[in-house]
Structure 1
Amino acid sequence: MTKIIGLTGGIGSGKTTVARRFQALGVPVYIADLEAKKIMELSSTLQKITDEFGDSILDNQILNREKLANIVFKNPQKLQKLNSIIHPLVKEHFQDWVQKNKEANFVIKEAAILFESGSYKDCDKIIAVTAPQEIRIRRVLERDNSDYESVMKRIENQWTDEMRIAKSDYIIENLELENTMNQVDILYKELKKS
């Protein structure tokens, strides 16, 4: 039976860096945010989103993520509504993906809101990637070309590191790249044995 290992962390913590290392070691990795974006572009999903949020979030029949983000990250109820549309679709897609990778010893499901969405319940073990908040903010500002206020809004909509750590089986502290890679390599060996 293929084990499902959840990989989570706050925005800018370095989940993608850790996920890429696992991929380089041959582990199938499912990037939930990336798959959710693809699912949101499907016409059937887009219809559900516009039914809920209106056509103003579209530009030439294409979803304008920035407009949608401006709505949902300022309003927890609207964010919850969007998640109630997207999460069941992502869950179904993930289950199909696990079936396709059933020969693997374990797979990684990388999701920023693994706990918030409830999808941690489907995982056998959970890895939390952590980094001090000021470092995370700086990384996101450099990476996304966004402003401080919008980064803080997103952080406020996610669990804290302390909350994630309390519910995780493994912690990877991502401060310095080489050290982070070493932590992943050690954990990879441990997960292969279990």
Structure 2
Amino acid sequence: MSQRPYRLGLTGSIGMGKSTTAALFAAAGVPVWDADAAVDALYAKDGAGVAALAELVPGAVGDNGVDRAALRSEIQKDPPLLAQIEAAIHPLVATHRAAFLERHARAPLVLFDIPLLFETNAQTWLDGVLVVSTTPEIQRARVLARKGMSDDFLNNILARQMPDAEKRARADWVFDTGNGVTPVRKAVLALIARLQEAAPHA
């Protein structure tokens, strides 16, 4: 039996340091699949998702691919449309993910950066899940420092995400990102060393 990569999932609520943590894994040489980037690629000009959405929401598709603002507007006007969009896009995302795995079949460890990991039951095909977390005060300060953010916008995002406490309870590992990058980098390198020895058999 041959070994396959250890599939580690990474998630965390907005402002918890997920992107920074994913970048630390990438800097250490771990292949990273970014769920948001995959959707962006599907929605870009000539992306595989453009044709699928052209049939469902023609008003949100233009010469440069899918207009995300127009798509959100269409969903707001017709909420059931979201389920149809997800049904069309999720198989394409899965194909994108499978291609990533095939490209990195010989790697001992691969990372899947998935914002809605538990919400989409991704833990069922992963080998382990890492959750990044910090205090609500640090989280709010980080998010509100971003351009265009407001308390209302943040509260709406948090209302759609699984509570941080539940994510931490379901995780295999939890990293506290509230004390800067240095301790997180140290924790990332230690976890990489551990998991590279734990690649499961296919």
Q: Normalising by structure 2, what TM-score?
A: 0.83
**Bigger Rg over Cα:** 2
Give the direction of change, closer, same or farther, for the CA distance of 1:16–1:43 in structure 2 (3 Å limit).
closer
CA shift for structure 1 position 48: 2.6
CA contact (8 A) 2:48 2:92 kept: no
Structure 2 residue runs of 5 or longer lacking an equivalent are none
| Aligned ranges 1:1-194 → 2 under 5 Å | 1-41=4-44, 42=46, 44-55=48-59, 57-58=60-61, 62-70=65-73, 72=75, 77-177=80-180, 178-194=182-198
CA contact (8 A) 1:9 1:164 kept: yes
CA shift for structure 1 position 144: 4.4
More helix by share: 1
CA shift for structure 1 position 44: 4.6
Partners of 1:58 and 1:142 lie apart in 2 by: 32
Structure 1 residue runs of 5 or longer lacking an equivalent are none
CA shift for structure 1 position 12: 1.5
Partners of 1:187 and 1:153 lie apart in 2 by: 33
Partners of 1:144 and 1:81 lie apart in 2 by: 31
Moved more, 70-79 or 87-96: 70-79
Give the direction of change, closer, same or farther, for the CA distance of 1:140–1:76 in structure 2 (3 Å limit).
farther
Across the aligned residues of Structure 1 and Structure 2, the Cα RMSD in angstroms comes to: 2.4
Partners of 1:76 and 1:13 lie apart in 2 by: 28
Q: Deviations over 1:70-108 (max 9, x none)?
A: 555898744444332222211111111111101110100
Amino acid at match of 2:90: H
CA contact (8 A) 1:72 1:79 kept: yes
Question: Share of identical aligned residues, percent?
Answer: 25
Give the secondary-structure state (helix, strand or coil) at the position aligned to 2:10: strand
Amino acid at match of 2:192: Y
Moved more, 106-115 or 134-143: 134-143
CA contact (8 A) 2:10 2:130 kept: yes
Moved more, 75-84 or 37-46: 75-84
Q: Normalising by structure 1, what TM-score?
A: 0.86
CA shift for structure 1 position 121: 1.4
Partners of 1:122 and 1:76 lie apart in 2 by: 29
